[in-house]
């Protein structure tokens, strides 16, 4: 008897940009996914770095269950968790909050200041503005590969110091910065000042590809250099990595979910929706020390 070929998962992968990002159709994340579908989603995740699923209807428990497919969920440091759900943060800005700083409103890799930064993050939209509030993503593989051979050789040997600037005592935002009251961010925490060293170029543990691993929110300086010495090259890299050809942009709709690889992307939450309420639920996937 001839064995039948294994069934292929019935999902559709639709790239959204040349650099990264794909919408996944044919998957209901509220249901238990079969092994073939999980394998197909993980393969798309490794290829496209950020995946988008529209039209989902998820309970908090279902979002956490989906998170577990990629690794253990982790609590978000320095941010108040949703009551009863330690792995979920409510990313909220109320309609009456104007001219305030919001969560993630600069290019960054989530919590790169941790010794073991998250593998990835998941954001699920419950309420979104009619327009505005998009999220941008950038491909750090592409940014690294576009550098000259000489620059790549130099960066391959460097390490950078990361600190939890927004949450610490030394580098936190000044009192003049107005921040959203709708998300419980803890500030002035001494433990956020701890300096953590990571390679400037990290090797992805699944794909083996090299990606730049610096960002303006958490990277302080290069190891064994002063901040002043580090600033010109870091500023160049921050501008380089967000060139349009390395990016994609996602417009949120109610029920949309985004999953991104924190090891090879940066992202930016656009704060251009004053006068509208925006609520999303966020989970993170535990990661390992960058190498």
> Which structure tokens are listed for 68?
């577990």
**Span 44-73, mean pLDDT?**
98
**Span 177-196, mean pLDDT?**
88
Q: Which residues are catalytic?
A: 108, 110, 267, 282
Q: Are strands 89-93 and 278-285 parallel, antiparallel or unpaired?
A: antiparallel
10 found inside a domain: no
Helices (H), the chain: 35-48, 60-68, 140-145, 149-156, 227-241
Confidence band of 175 (pLDDT split at 50, 70, 90): low
202 found inside a domain: yes
67 found inside a domain: no
Predicted confidence at residue 177, as pLDDT, reads 66
**Cβ neighbours of residue 277 closer than 8 Å, sequence gap 6 or more:** 92, 93, 94, 95, 127, 129
12 found inside a domain: no
DSSP secondary structure, 158-182, as one string: -EEEE--GGGSSSSPPPTT--B-SS
163 found inside a domain: yes
3 found inside a domain: no
> Which structure tokens are listed for 135?
């999220």
Interatomic CA distance for residues 221 and 4, integer angstroms: 57
Q: Which domain holds residue 157?
A: 74-285
The C-alpha torsion from 92 through 95 and 100 to 106, rounded to 10°, is: 50
Residue 254 has pLDDT above 60, yes or no: yes
15 found inside a domain: no
- What is the pTM (predicted TM-score) of this model? 0.94
Q: Tell me, what CATH number does 139's domain have?
A: 3.60.130.10
DSSP secondary structure, 81-133, as one string: PBTTBTT-EEEEE-TT--S-B-TT-SSB-TTTTSSS--SEEEEEEEE--SS--
Predicted confidence at residue 178, as pLDDT, reads 73
Predicted confidence at residue 8, as pLDDT, reads 55
Residue 3 has pLDDT above 90, yes or no: no
pLDDT tens, 79-107? 999 999 999 999 999 999 998 888 888 99
| Structural domains in the chain (count) | 1
60 found inside a domain: no
Q: In DSSP terms, which residues pair with 218 in a beta bridge?
A: none
């Amino acid at each position: 008897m001839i064995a039948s070929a294994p069934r292929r998962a019935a999902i559709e992968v639709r790239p959204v940009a040349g650099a990264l990002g794909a919408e996944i159709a044919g998957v209901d994340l509220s249901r238990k996914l079969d092994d073939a579908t999980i394998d197909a989603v993980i393969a798309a995740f490794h290829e496209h770095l950020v995946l988008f699923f529209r039209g989902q209807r998820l309970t908090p428990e279902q979002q956490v269950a989906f998170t577990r497919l990629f690794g253990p969920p982790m609590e978000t440091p320095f941010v108040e968790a949703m009551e009863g759900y330690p792995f979920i943060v409510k990313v909220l800005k109320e309609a009456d909050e104007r001219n305030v700083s919001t969560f993630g409103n600069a290019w960054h890799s989530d919590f790169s200041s941790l010794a073991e930064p998250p593998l990835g993050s998941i954001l699920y939209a419950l309420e979104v503005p009619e327009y505005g509030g998009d999220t941008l993503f950038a491909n750090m593989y592409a940014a690294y590969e576009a550098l000259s051979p000489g620059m790549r050789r130099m960066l391959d040997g460097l390490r950078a110091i990361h600190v939890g600037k927004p949450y610490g005592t030394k580098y936190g935002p000044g009192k003049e910065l107005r921040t959203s009251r709708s998300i419980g961010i803890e500030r002035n925490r001494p433990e956020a000042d701890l300096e953590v060293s990571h390679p400037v170029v990290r090797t992805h543990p699944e794909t083996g590809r090299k990606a730049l691993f610096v960002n303006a929110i958490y990277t302080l300086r290069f190891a064994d250099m002063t901040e002043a010495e580090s600033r010109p090259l870091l500023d160049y890299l921050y501008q380089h990595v967000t060139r349009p050809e390395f990016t994609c942009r996602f417009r949120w709709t109610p029920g949309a979910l985004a999953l991104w690889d924190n090891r090879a992307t940066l992202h930016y939450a656009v704060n251009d929706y004053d006068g509208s309420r925006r609520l999303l639920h966020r989970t993170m996937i535990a990661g390992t020390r960058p190498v």
